[in-house]
Amino acid sequence: MLNYLDSHTSKFLLITLLAGVVIFGLIFYFFRKLGKSPKNILPVNFAGRIRIPLALFMLALVTRILKTNDKILEFINEEVLSHTSTLLFILSITWILIVILKAFKSNILTKYDMSASDNVHARKIYTQFTVLERVLMFLIILFAVSIALMSFDSIRSIGVSMLTSAGIAGIIIGFAAQKALGTLMAGIQIAFTQPIRLDDVVVVEGEWGRIEEIYLTYVVVKIWDKRRLVLPTTYFIEQPFQNWTRNSSDILGTVFIYTDYNVPFDALREELTRILKNTDLWDGEVNVLQVTDTNNEMVETRALMSAIDSPTAWDLRVHVREKLVIFIQENYPHSLPRTRIEMQKREDSKKVEKSIKEPDKSDLLRDK
């Protein structure tokens, strides 16, 4: 194309392209240097994330500048240049806003440690920012797509002609999308009311697991056996479920032992204390052994203990159960559950049988 342009237009084109490349390089270098400093709020890889949308923005700016030259418009349609630059502006700005949003979220969340033993506040912040980030991203993309479509005159005229029927159409769409909108609103409600948080331990649909991901329309629960249970966000608003870490991560664990009536409970209490003191799984708070039930065959004894979180409580329960069973086997084997049957002697049974067969004389006289 340069062969068909005069020298002035060719210089204008080359200078514009070169200026765009230089400005892009300077801005990229500035963000890369800024991201390397730990004192700045920008993440280390911010320059790499913003490189492509920044290049698109500069390309849109160059395209818009080229549109001012009449000689270039002789070779390229002005409407094509205008729409191209507009769409590039919308795409690049949308992309940049999303990158900035993610960088802001990452900078905030670095102040909270999710790996801490008591991470209730950290999980609260993580849940709020994760859900709100997705809500804002959805709104930014929706707004960008709307502006991009309205930049075309044909679509804009169709939109204006449909304004008269927008009320009826809105009601129909509202009824059709009632479930989808309800699910979306439930996701926003979870971000603020927080019946669940990321990494919460919950029991849903009879399954024990942790909240792994919270999206606008569904929640992923990681089951203890590494399966994933996917539930709509409305489930946690409308259905009852158990949240074991709603206020704190510490939890009580129980172990039930079934023994004979002659088991020494004081010896069991002393052994439970010894077991708990010799393991790092116990947090040193709760140590109780109680008889909780009896029947005609055995006694039910409950050992109650505490741990810093539910996975540790599970391991502690398994450990205590095994050690108590071994203790009873080795020291009180006669106290294991047993079934008692009382047998009559054979002589006694014969006497009873004889007394039944031979009636008393008084009975014979009475019959006469």
Burial, 311: exposed, middle or buried (Cβ in 10 Å; 0-12, 13-18, 19+)? middle
- The residue ranges of DSSP E strands in 238-351, in sequence order, are 242-243, 251-259, 287-294, 299-307
> What does residue 214 show for φ and ψ, rounded to 5 degrees?
-125, 115
Q: Which among 229, 232, 243 has a CA at the least distance from the CA of 187? A: 232
> What does residue 343 show for φ and ψ, rounded to 5 degrees?
-105, 135
Residue 184: partners with Cβ closer than 8 Å, 6 or more residues away: 216, 217
- Measured distance CA(310)–CA(243) in Å, rounded: 11
- Measured distance CA(145)–CA(139) in Å, rounded: 10
- Least confident span in 46-50, 90-94, 95-99, 202-206: 46-50
Q: For position 345, what pLDDT does the model report?
A: 63
More confident residue, 17 or 262: 262
- Measured distance CA(241)–CA(212) in Å, rounded: 16
Over residues 31-54, mean pLDDT: 71
- How far is the first Cα of the chain from the last one, in angstroms, to the nearest whole number? 142
Indicate yes or no: pTM above 0.85. no
Mean pLDDT across the chain, nearest whole number? 78
| Res. 159: pLDDT tops 60 | no
Q: For position 264, what pLDDT does the model report?
A: 92
| Res. 364: pLDDT tops 60 | no
Q: Which among 110, 114, 109, 112 has a CA at the least distance from the CA of 249? A: 114
- How far is C-alpha 221 from the chain's CA centre? 6
| Res. 18: pLDDT tops 70 | yes
Q: For position 163, what pLDDT does the model report?
A: 46
User: Bridge partners of 222?
Assistant: 210, 228
| Res. 360: pLDDT tops 60 | no
Give the confidence band of 273 by pLDDT, cuts at 50, 70, 90.
very high
Given a contact cutoff of 8 angstroms between Cβ atoms, the answer to whether 124 and 81 are in contact is no
Helices (H), 44-119: 46-66, 70-73, 78-109
Find where tokens 């009559």 sit. 344
- Least confident span in 158-162, 218-222, 304-308: 158-162
What percentage of the chain has pLDDT greater than the value 70?
A: 73
- State the Cα angle at 344 between 341 and 349, rounded to 5°: 145
- Measured distance CA(317)–CA(265) in Å, rounded: 19
- Measured distance CA(332)–CA(19) in Å, rounded: 90
The edge-to-edge listing of strands for the beta sheet with 287-294 is: 251-259, 299-307, 287-294
Top mean pLDDT of 24-33, 45-54, 239-248, 340-349 is at 239-248
Q: Which two tokens stand for residue 48?
A: 């790499």
| Res. 296: pLDDT tops 60 | yes
- Least confident span in 20-24, 301-305, 346-350: 346-350
